[in-house]
Each structure stands twice: as C-alpha cells, then as structure tokens.
C-alpha cells in the first residue's frame, strides 16, 4: 500500500513501483478507498480516502530522510518531464535557474509543506535539482557544514 503522509489538507501518495509522489487535495478526495493508476509508470495504487488529513499520522522520523529524497526527486522529475526541450536550451545557455525560477519556487513550496514539523531537508532538494534537472551539473551547491536547511 502507498505510504500516505499528511500535512494540513493534502494527502501525499507514493507509487511503490517508481517512487513518484502525488499530492491530492483532501477536500477533493472521495471518502472511500480507491484504486488509481500511477501516471508515471502505469502501476495500480491504492488510496484510502476514508481517513481524513487531520487523522493521518506524519511519517516517523526515521522515514523522513528517504521520503524527503523521494519527494524532491518526484517534484524535480515532473518539471523535467513536461519541459525537457526548454530545460535543454536553458542548460546549454547557462540560465537554468533563471528559466525555471517559477517552477522551482512552487516545487520548493510543496516540498517544504510536505515534510511538516519544520523539518526541511534542503540538501535533498538541491541534489535533485543538480542530478535530475541539471543532468548532473552543479547549479545549486549541495550544501554541507554551515548550509541552511531551511533555504533552497
């Protein structure tokens, strides 16, 4: 079964096959169990709409690091999926971060809200931008000692 995580009024569902993470508005979620297909890989997912956002458990602290890494990867992969040609041009011209500032800003907002409890794993987000969107180039410093974990 997918690993649901709640933050405010959003349900996050992770595909067990490909690791894609989807945010579903709690208000739009039918109040029943659903079987849906993952848009990324086509695998069937089970989503429990009977449990409302306020009643869901947040991920355990030991699960947050892996979940943060998967969430960052899913958000950045979505940007690349829909804008590959635009990314290729911006990367070749050295203006990747400027070109994708709106998309990265929105992905960062979703990323922070999905982790909850003020715990932000900014390093995972920066690594996903470098590895996935920038194709392995370093466009964002990965962080380390002294790097803020609350800022992208």
Residues 49, 65: one domain?
no
Residues 20, 43: one domain?
yes
Residues 88, 129: one domain?
yes
Which distant-in-sequence residues (6+ apart) come within 8 Å of 120 by Cβ?
111, 112, 149, 150
Residues 119, 80: one domain?
yes
What sign does the dihedral 104-73-38-14 (CA atoms) show?
A: negative
At 47 the pLDDT is 80
pLDDT at 101 over 90: yes
pTM tops 0.75, yes or no:
no
At 3 the pLDDT is 39
Residue 146 lies in a domain: no
At 42 the pLDDT is 87
Residue 51 lies in a domain: yes
What is the tally of structural domains in the chain?
2
At 119 the pLDDT is 53
What does the alpha-carbon distance between residue 87 and residue 133 come to, in Å, rounded to a whole number? Answer: 7
What does the alpha-carbon distance between residue 21 and residue 113 come to, in Å, rounded to a whole number? Answer: 14
Residues 97, 50: one domain?
no
pLDDT at 19 over 90: no
What tens digit of pLDDT does each residue of 31-62 get? 778 888 888 888 888 887 776 655 655 556 55
Residue 76 lies in a domain: yes
Q: How confident is the model at residue 20 (pLDDT cuts 50, 70, 90)?
A: confident
Residue 138 lies in a domain: no
Give the residue numbers spanning the domain of 101.
61-133
What tens digit of pLDDT does each residue of 104-129 get? 999 998 888 777 654 567 888 999 99
Residues 73, 128: one domain?
yes
Q: Which residue has the higher pLDDT, 99 or 14?
A: 99
């Amino acid at each position: 079964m997918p690993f649901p995580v709640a933050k405010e009024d959003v349900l996050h569902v992770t595909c067990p096959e490909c690791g894609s993470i989807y945010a579903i508005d709690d208000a739009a979620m039918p109040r029943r169990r659903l079987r849906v297909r993952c848009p990324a890989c086509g695998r069937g997912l089970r989503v429990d709409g009977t449990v409302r956002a306020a009643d869901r458990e947040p991920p355990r602290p030991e699960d947050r690091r892996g979940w943060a890494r998967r969430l960052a990867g899913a958000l950045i992969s979505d940007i690349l999926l829909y804008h590959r040609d635009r990314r290729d041009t911006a990367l070749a011209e050295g203006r990747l971060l400027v070109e994708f500032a709106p998309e990265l800003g929105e992905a960062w907002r979703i990323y922070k809200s999905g982790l909850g409890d003020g715990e932000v794993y900014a390093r995972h987000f920066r690594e996903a931008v470098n590895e996935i969107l920038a194709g392995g180039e370093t466009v964002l410093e990965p962080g380390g000692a002294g790097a803020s974990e609350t800022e992208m």
